[in-house]
Amino acid sequence: MTVPLSPPSQAAALRRVRDDLAGRGLVDGLPAAFLAGVTRFARPPQAELDALAAAARGLADRLAAGQAGDEDVPLLTRVLFFAGHADVLAAAGVPTPAYDVLGSYRDNLDRPVGPRLPERPTAGGRRWRVLGRDVGFPIGVPACVLNGGEDWVAHFARNGYSVLTYKTVRSRAHQPNQQPNWVFAQRQAQSLPPGAAAEVIADPWDWVAPGSPAVSTVNSFGVPSLTPEEWMADLERSLAVLGDDQLLLVSVMGEDADGEGAGALVEDFTRTARMAEEAGAPVVELNLSCPNTLDRSASGVKPPLCLDADATVAVVERVRRALDDRTGLVAKLSWLDEERLAALVPRLAPLVDGVAGINTLQSRVRRSDGWATFPGRELAGLSGAAIRESALDFTRRLVTLREAAGRRFDVLAMGGVTDPASFEALFALGADAVQSASGAFANPYLARDCIAALGETLPRALEPAR
Ligand SMILES: Cc1cc2nc3c(=O)[nH]c(=O)nc-3n(C[C@H](O)[C@H](O)[C@H](O)COP(=O)(O)O)c2cc1C
């Protein structure tokens, strides 16, 4: 097993961060830069703002005097992240979230933030079979902005993930929703009951320390996409950075842009899937599950497509016929209740190589002052620890339905995986691979930790070649 050692000691890392900040003349300006970040999208109540300002000033004083100690690392991480200097932490190997939530979708496209391991952690030569390929330790990052381009794919591939899903792309460019797009949901540290409609309070300045297994987030990106010319070229480069024991699926979504009806939606899904195949995608994942798509005809946000079984099957059937037989096909679903999932899975089973789920839970999200966290969009996607029970419930039922269908498809499970225990819980239910978005965002060492804990014992590995 190759699991790189932990990064340098906390004291050495802290010294490096301090020297780097001092060398770049950033220490004095830290409190102001931090407050600019904290108030970027909304203003905390005055007492909270004063407390944050005082804490940042105290930290800057201790850094200037060479007196910052280990106990300052959590605050330092938060201050540097919101001050836009998370790269200083990452360079010293200090855990930091991987995505700059203050920057735009475009700003982030080629800029994964979190630390990168010097060497890819692996479970030695052990391999697992996923979607017809032999892959390394079967942890992955699902379709999301964390796999939005070549630099991200390379980043997570290096940090130990073997089953990556390229972010959902479309048949034409699509702008992201207005910022903010991604916010910590620090008050949602516990899992909600399966499928519960959540009312979430989340402020843009909320924070959860990197590595906390209790991390939850809310997001409202609106499934942005580059032009097909851009993403197809990027996809080819992304595929080229992977090892032969790493798999990149490509998530696609269709739309009925001109309101022509169900047929147009099916055709657009098909067109986009074929573009992905043309660019080299070994497996196409159909995003039938997004809770963030703006609805121009009504006010607000559309429900996920997979709630409509007939529309879902029409898309999957048509895409299956249009793709080459060698291209794998995965249907990504959101959490569905018993009746809906039981009705859908037998219809999907003959058509797909895999079913992925769950997506984020569509939730009503407000700031603590009562205003919408995401202006103009009351509904957004909740993920991370808060949806763990939903993911377990969905995966358990999906695996049972797979057995009943008597037809083998792989299960890509996700939802609330933030540490080795939550990874193992989904795998133990019968998932073939387990992916993490919120956990991978908040803990740059998640895959390494899972491989260190489970690399030698995780069941269902292939026999080594003799
Ligand atoms: C910021 C963000 C963006 C996402 N974008 C997509 C997307 O483009 N397509 C998709 O199928 N799922 C998307 N998802 C959903 C994730 O792939 C995953 O299903 C969900 O977050 C549950 O996993 P988690 O609890 O590990 O975050 C997104 C999730 C997040 C947090």
Is pLDDT larger for residue 8 or for residue 111?
A: 111
Are 209 and 271 found together in one domain?
yes
Point out the least confidently predicted range of 197-201, 273-277, 397-401, 419-423.
197-201
19 and 133 share a domain? no
The answer on 137 and 53 residing in a single domain is no
Distance (Å) from CA 8 to ligand 1 centroid = 32
Burial 419-432 (b: 16+ CB within 10 A, else e): bbebbbbbbebbbb
**pLDDT, tens digit, 9 for 90 and up, residues 33-46:** 999 999 999 999 99
The C-alpha atoms of residue 103 and residue 350 are separated, in whole angstroms, by 43
- pLDDT band at 182; cut points 50, 70, 90: very high
pLDDT value of position 464: 76
Question: What is the rounded distance in angstroms from the CA atom of residue 327 to the CA atom of residue 320?
Answer: 9
Number of structural domains, the chain? 2
Q: What is the pLDDT of residue 271?
A: 98
In a domain, 115, yes or no: no
Q: Which pLDDT tens digit goes with each residue over 241-250?
A: 999 999 999 9
| 380 found inside a domain | yes
* Pair 74, 153 in one domain: no
Report field, pTM of the whole predicted structure over 0.85: yes
Give 66 Cα–ligand 1 centroid separation in angstroms. Answer: 41
**For residues 117-122, average pLDDT:** 97
Q: Are 139 and 157 in contact (CB under 8 A)?
A: no
Q: What is the pLDDT of residues 356-377, one digit of tens each?
A: 999 999 999 999 999 999 999 9
215, part of any domain = yes
Residue 349: which H helix or E strand, with range? none
Expressed in angstroms and rounded, the spacing between residue 62 Cα and the centre of ligand 1 is 39
The DSSP line for 217-277 is: EEE-----B--HHHHHHHHHHHHHTS-TT-EEEEEE----TT---HHHHHHHHHHHHHHHH
On whether residue 66 sits in a domain, the answer given is: yes
Are residues 88 and 24 located together in one domain of the fold?
yes
Residue 333 pLDDT level (bands cut at 50, 70, 90): very high
Look at residue 210 and tell me whether its pLDDT is greater than 70: yes
Whether the link from the prior residue into 180 is cis, omega within 30° of 0, is yes
- With a cut of 90, say whether residue 321 has pLDDT above it: yes
- Residue of 113, 217, 359 to test ligand 1 pocket, by largest number of atoms within 8 Å of CB: 359
Ligand 1 atom showing the smallest separation from residue 217 Cα: 31
Mean pLDDT score of the chain: 94
Same domain, 304 and 193: yes
Give the pLDDT score at 463. Answer: 83
342 in the same domain as 262: yes
- Give the residue numbers spanning the domain of 63: 10-94
Asked if residue 348 has pLDDT above 70, the reply is yes
Token pair 């930091």 is at which residue?
Answer: 96
Ligand 1 pocket by Cβ (under 6 Å)? 142-145, 167-168, 182, 217, 219, 221, 223, 251, 287, 289-290, 332, 359-360, 383-384, 387, 414-417, 436-439
Same domain, yes or no, for 216 and 142?
A: yes
| Least confident segment among 89-93, 278-282, 395-399 | 89-93
**Does residue 125 or residue 292 have the better pLDDT?**
125
pLDDT band at 121 (very low <50, low <70, confident <90, very high): very high
Can you point out the beta strands (E) in 139-235?
Answer: 139-141, 163-169, 182-184, 199-201, 216-219
User: Does residue 358 have a cis peptide bond before it, meaning omega lies within 30 degrees of 0?
Assistant: yes
Q: What is the model's pLDDT at position 275? A: 98
What pLDDT does 8 receive?
Answer: 59
195 and 77: one domain?
no
Residue 198: per-residue pLDDT: 83
Which of these three, 76, 94, 112, is where a domain ends? 94
> Mean of the pLDDT values across residues 239-263?
94
Residues 137, 69, single domain; the answer is no
Residue 466 lies in a domain: no
For residue 252, what pLDDT is reported?
A: 98
* pLDDT computed for residue 406 by the predictor: 86
Give the model confidence (pLDDT) of 152-177 as tens digits: 999 999 999 999 999 999 999 999 99
**Quick one: which of 77, 71, 92 has its CA closest to 23?**
92
Which atom number of ligand 1 is nearest to the Cα of residue 289?
11
Nearest atom (ligand 1) to Cα of 414: 23
Q: Which long-range contacts (CB under 8 A, 24 or more apart) does 9-16 make?
A: 10/70, 10/73, 11/70, 13/73, 13/92, 13/93, 13/94, 14/68, 14/69, 14/70, 14/72, 14/73, 14/76, 14/92, 14/94, 16/91, 16/92
Over range 311-318, report the average pLDDT: 97
The verdict on residue 168 lying in a domain is yes
With bands split at pLDDT 50, 70 and 90, how would you rate the model's confidence at 52? very high
Q: Is the model more confident about 6 or about 53? A: 53
463 in any annotated domain: no
120 has a pLDDT exceeding 80 = yes
C-alpha 143 – ligand 1 centre gap (Å):
6
pLDDT of residue 299: 43
Ranges 127-136, 193-202, 414-423: which has the least confidence: 193-202
- Are 90 and 132 in the same domain? no
The CATH code of the domain that includes 318 is: 3.20.20.70
Determine the distance separating the centroid of ligand 1 and the alpha carbon of 465, expressed in angstroms. 35
pLDDT of residue 462: 97
Residue 7 reports pLDDT greater than 70: no
pLDDT at 4: 58
Give domain status of residue 117, yes or no: no
- Given 94, 114, 141, the domain boundary residue is 94
Decide if pLDDT at 140 tops 90. yes
Across the strands, what pairs with 251? 285
Do 390 and 359 meet the contact criterion of CB atoms below 8 Å apart?
A: no
- Segment 14-27 mean pLDDT: 96
- Locate the ligand 1 atom nearest the alpha carbon of residue 168 and give its number: 8
Question: What's the rounded Cα separation, in Å, for the pair 422 and 414?
Answer: 10
From 71, 94, 117, the end of a domain falls on 94
* Claim to verify: residue 40 and residue 142 sit in the same structural domain: no
